[in-house]
Amino acid sequence: MLLLTALLNPSRSRFPSHARTMTGDSALRRVFESIDRSSSTLATIIDSHKDFLLFFFFQLHSADETTARRLVEVACDGGDPDKDNIFHDSGWFQLGKTRMPTAEDLQFIKENVGQHALAQPKTWIDMKDPSVAEKHPLPLGHERNTVMDAFLKTLNRSRTQIVKVERIQNLAMWQSYVVKRQTICNRDIKKRGVADDQTQQQKQIDRFERAWLFHGTNFEVMDKILQQGFNRSFCGKNATMYGKGVYFAVESSYSACSTYAVPDRNGFQYVMACRVAVGEYCLGKRDALTPDVRDSKTNTLYDSTVNALNNPTVFVTYHDAQAYPEYLITFKQT
């Protein structure tokens, strides 16, 4: 399992090399063995996302630093945060410093984690297995028409035949995305010193999230993305002009070209309409492995890169949890 890595904050570069090899699996079990599984919300989250839940507890908190540090203390048995590489704002911890949580600890977690933020979207239907991605064809109606209109906006409608539109339901991936998005939002809320309420959270989401950006792919890679999420190991196959990350386009016509949406043997092409937490972005550079530094004092990087600072049409992300493929569009072009 890949521990937390930079999922919460990939731009932080102060983690020592040995911290990157730790595993949170044992610590995760210690925390959840004591959780009251009669809570349906917690039970669903635990069952569907064991590998990543530890960082949910550390990051889905108010912008208040005291609360954040207290959440870390729940799973860390003493120690100096700086000396032991325990970071309240990024979810890093020493496995040897973990301990069994008390009933008081668990209650504190339940009150401060914000469990409802991890619930599945209201438009989803019940899932047979939350640990497996599901594709649900959309019937004729508002949801399908909204996706189709966004997709066809920059395409030649007379030459584009939409075969089907499917909603992607992957709870584990959705929760990972929500955590990453909230991390970016909370960072800005804390920086500006504004109230951390629902209204402010929505304002930050509107500012830092794009819905939708498009990503074209081939049939083989498509299935991997739907099950496991976007992986930067696929980058470089088509373009690295603005950095070695995952590329998303504002205009569907960019992603729908056969270079990116490669037709399968039946002539079908595949484009995903994605929610992307673009965050703070900078101009991309050819073959760059990361965005530029945004804050030299903390060595914090920008969240993504773009092709142009004014009215960008291409966004490049460098963290696998920064995007969620909300809809899969299968189509043909003549």
Report the DSSP pairing between strands 281-283 and 304-306: parallel
Q: Given pLDDT bands bounded at 50, 70 and 90, which one contains residue 196?
A: low
Give tens-digit pLDDT for 132-181.
899 999 999 999 999 999 999 999 999 999 999 999 999 989 988 888 88
Residue spans in the chain of domains classed CATH 3.90.228.10 = 134-333
Which amino acid is it at 181? Answer: R
Average pLDDT over residues 70-95: 46
Most confident of 44-53, 57-66, 87-96, 218-227: 218-227
Q: In this structure, which long-range contacts are made by residues 10-13, counting pairs with CB atoms below 8 Å and at least 24 apart in sequence?
A: 10/290, 10/301, 10/318, 10/319, 11/290, 11/291, 11/294, 11/299, 11/300, 11/301, 11/302, 11/303, 12/87, 12/90, 12/298, 12/299, 12/300, 13/299, 13/301
Question: What whole-number distance in Å separates Cα of residue 49 and Cα of residue 176?
Answer: 9
pLDDT in tens, 89-112: 433 344 444 455 556 655 555 555
Q: What is the pTM of this model?
A: 0.69
Q: Is 232 in contact with 245 (CB distance < 8 Å)?
A: yes
Residue 247, classed as helix, strand or coil, is strand
CB atoms within 10 A of CB 94: 17
- DSSP one-letter code for 10: T
Q: Which residue has the higher pLDDT, 58 or 85?
A: 85
Distance of alpha carbon 108 from alpha carbon 61, whole angstroms: 11
State residue 175's pLDDT score. Answer: 84
CA distance to 54, 81, 155, per residue, from 326 (Å): 24, 38, 20
Architecture in CATH of 134-333: Alpha-Beta Complex (3.90)
